[in-house]
């Protein structure tokens, strides 16, 4: 570990940049031809840093037409590709981009026929996911449809709200508790050991070379370090410095940005706006807060319990908290919640039993039937915590790891969906990326929703489903790897009538 203060002492101090300055720059560039960012979110947790934006779990042309008709600066598309193998992820990215471009050219249902689209590949702030595959596919699809070549792919994994920062081209995780103020290179954390998306390098230039298998050499990566991001107290001078640094980019050159604060993200956004004004064609591979800064959105204060239910009458049923993630912080959060929420009923889905049941006809169904009956009965009296057993079944085969994850997720989805159809809960919290994606799209059958804002400062988003059987039920998307040990209990307490 190293001290953040010592590293930052070698760089300029941050410069305060109001969100309105970015919003005005975006508005000026969109005055003649409106622009909308299409965010391909590889799990639904990317929405935790934004507010009042549409989100889709389906991506037919008519879905995009609905989203474009909301007249917002960005739309999130829940692709869930982190749960797919590379071929499936590539096909899904291509389909989303083609349909978005088709909808942007349609005059139906309020879509603007002159709408310009920018594409954002939102992924994990701890560098897990299909990189460089996804931006490669997006760039190739845009070129095939429009003939427009991508000059640069801007990598911004930083997520300061959750303790992920990039300094000197190196991506770090901030310490908490006794380790506050210390930084650990992300390759030295548990996330780098991910069975499907592990990596060895924290230096982003070397990460790019590693993940691209040498197609992009480390020295070919453009690094926008804090000397550039904080080039001047005048944001316009900084914007020009950033755009100048990007100028050499061509043929999807990787561009890495140092980010420590929201002001850094806003400075970067002004620079990207200037680069695009000059004609640079850019794609973005980013962590959650990038879109907020890029569109000039203010940081939304955390929602209160009353705001979470605004416009809807809360059910008398208990709430449903579904926990699927196995990272350490999730297990600690689950422990804190179960210890503090004594009124909640705890129901475990046995992962070993599910995996074994794949070879036993009816064994898995019987386990799920019993689980659903237990959950429904318990909801009549209060909140229910449904979690997968904490024993993580490991394998060295990434494909097998994904297959196990899908089996478990399918069981969680079945429990949620059958519970929803039998006795709708007061609220639903889903903990974990794949878990929250599948619960949204299949468990709750959400097709269109509006992201209302965060439940905790900068993290954990609330979706309001606008159609389907879950319409009006607050749905909380809670990433597996964010928050402190008390965060899950804090969110539950806001929504619960019995906690």
Mean pLDDT, residues 241-252? 98
- Of 60-69, 111-120, 238-247, 434-443, the poorest mean pLDDT is in 111-120
Peptide bond into 132 cis (omega under 30): yes
Whole-angstrom Cα distance, residue 364 to residue 355? 8
Q: Phi/psi at 382 (nearest 5 deg)?
A: 160, -165
Place of tokens 């639904």: 44
- Name the band, by pLDDT with cuts 50, 70 and 90, for residue 359: low
Q: 48 has which bridge partners? A: none
Whole-angstrom Cα distance, residue 276 to residue 318? 49
- Of 30-44, 59-73, 355-369, the poorest mean pLDDT is in 355-369
Using CA atoms, how far residue 146 sits from 61, 90, 93, 134, 203, in Å, is 17, 19, 16, 18, 34
Looking at residue 470, what is its pLDDT?
A: 96
Looking at residue 111, what is its pLDDT?
A: 45
At a CB cut-off of 8 Å and minimum separation 6, what does 82 contact? 42, 43, 123, 124, 128, 129, 130, 197, 433, 434
Q: Which of 40, 65, 206 is nearest to 129 (CA)?
A: 40
Going by their DSSP bridges, the two strands 2-3 and 475-478 should be labelled as unpaired
Mean pLDDT, residues 456-485? 93
Mean pLDDT, residues 63-89? 94
Percent of the chain scored above 70 by pLDDT? 94
Is a pLDDT exceeding 80 seen at residue 389?
no
- Work out the mean pLDDT of the chain and round it to a whole number: 92
- Of 139-148, 234-243, 434-443, the poorest mean pLDDT is in 434-443
Mean pLDDT, residues 125-148? 97
Is a pLDDT exceeding 70 seen at residue 138?
yes
Looking at residue 363, what is its pLDDT?
A: 58
DSSP string, 34-68: -EEEEEEESSGGGGGG--SEEEES---HHHHHHHH
Backbone dihedral region of 181: left (phi > 0), alpha (psi from -120 to 50 degrees) or beta? Answer: left
**Cα dihedral value 489, 493, 496, 499, nearest 10:** 90
More confident residue, 260 or 370: 260
Number of H helices, E strands in the chain: 17, 19
Q: Helix, strand, coil shares of the chain as percentages rounded to 5?
A: 45, 20, 35
Continuous segment of H or E residues that includes residue 221 = none
pLDDT tens-digit profile of 166-210? 999 999 999 988 888 999 999 999 999 998 899 999 999 999 999
Which residue segments constitute the domains of the chain, with CATH numbers given?
2-294 (3.40.50.10840), 305-495 (3.40.980.20)
pLDDT tens-digit profile of 83-133? 899 999 999 999 999 999 999 987 554 444 579 999 999 999 999 999 999
The pTM of the full predicted model, rounded to 2 decimals, is: 0.90
Looking at residue 270, what is its pLDDT?
A: 98
Question: From the CA atom positions of the chain, what is the Rg in Å?
Answer: 22
Q: Which of 308, 266, 312, 259 is nearest to 287 (CA)?
A: 259
Whole-angstrom Cα distance, residue 29 to residue 375? 52
- Of 147-156, 310-319, 349-358, the poorest mean pLDDT is in 349-358
Q: Which of 181, 154, 177, 153 is nearest to 165 (CA)?
A: 181
Is a pLDDT exceeding 70 seen at residue 402?
no
Is a pLDDT exceeding 90 seen at residue 469?
yes
Is a pLDDT exceeding 50 seen at residue 322?
yes
């Amino acid at each position: 570990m190293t001290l953040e203060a010592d590293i930052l002492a070698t760089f300029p101090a941050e410069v305060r940049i109001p969100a309105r300055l970015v919003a005005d720059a975006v508005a000026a560039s969109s005055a003649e031809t409106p622009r909308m960012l299409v965010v391909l979110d590889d799990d639904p947790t990317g929405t935790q840093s934004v507010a009042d934006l549409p989100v889709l779990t389906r991506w037919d042309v008519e879905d995009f037409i609905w989203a474009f008709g909301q007249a917002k600066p960005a739309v999130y598309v829940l692709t869930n590709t982190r749960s797919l193998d590379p071929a499936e992820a590539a096909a899904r990215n291509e389909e989303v981009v083609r349909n978005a471009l088709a909808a942007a050219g349609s005059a139906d249902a309020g879509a603007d026929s002159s709408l310009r689209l920018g594409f954002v590949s939102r992924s994990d702030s701890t560098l897990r996911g299909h990189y460089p595959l996804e931006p490669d596919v997006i760039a190739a699809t845009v070129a095939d449809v429009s003939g427009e070549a991508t000059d640069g792919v801007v990598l911004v994994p930083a997520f300061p709200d959750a303790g992920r920062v990039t300094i000197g081209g190196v991506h770090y995780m901030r310490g908490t508790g006794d380790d506050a103020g210390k930084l650990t290179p992300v390759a030295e954390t548990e996330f780098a050991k991910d069975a499907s998306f592990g990596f060895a390098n924290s230096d982003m230039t070397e990460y790019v070379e590693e993940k691209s298998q040498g197609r992009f050499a480390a020295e070919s990566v453009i690094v926008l370090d804090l000397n550039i991001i904080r080039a001047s107290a005048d944001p316009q001078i900084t914007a020009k410095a950033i755009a100048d640094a990007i100028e050499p980019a061509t043929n999807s050159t990787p561009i890495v940005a140092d980010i420590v604060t929201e002001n850094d993200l806003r400075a970067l956004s002004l620079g990207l706006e200037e680069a695009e004004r000059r004609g640079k064609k850019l794609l973005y591979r980013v962590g959650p807060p990038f879109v907020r800064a890029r569109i000039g959105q203010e940081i939304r204060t955390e929602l209160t319990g009353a705001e979470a239910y605004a416009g809807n009458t809360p059910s008398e049923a208990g709430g449903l908290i579904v926990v699927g993630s196995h990272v350490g912080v999730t297990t600690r959060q689950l422990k804190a919640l179960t210890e503090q929420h004594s009124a909640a009923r705890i129901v475990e889905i046995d992962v070993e039993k599910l995996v074994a049941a794949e070879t036993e006809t009816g064994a898995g169904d019987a386990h799920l039937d019993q689980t659903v009956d237990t959950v429904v009965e318990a909801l009549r009296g209060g909140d229910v915590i449904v979690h997968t057993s904490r024993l993580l079944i490991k394998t060295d085969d990434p494909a097998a790891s994904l297959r196990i994850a899908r089996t478990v997720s399918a069981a969680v989805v079945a429990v949620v969906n059958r519970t929803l159809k039998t006795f709708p809960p007061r609220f639903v919290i889903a903990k974990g990326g794949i878990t929250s994606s599948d619960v949204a799209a299949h468990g709750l059958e959400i097709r269109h929703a509006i992201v209302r804002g965060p439940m905790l400062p900068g993290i954990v988003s609330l979706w309001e489903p606008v159609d389907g059987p879950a319409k009006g039920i607050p749905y909380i998307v809670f990433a597996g790897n964010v928050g402190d040990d008390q965060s899950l209990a804090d969110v539950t307490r806001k929504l619960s009538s019995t906690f």
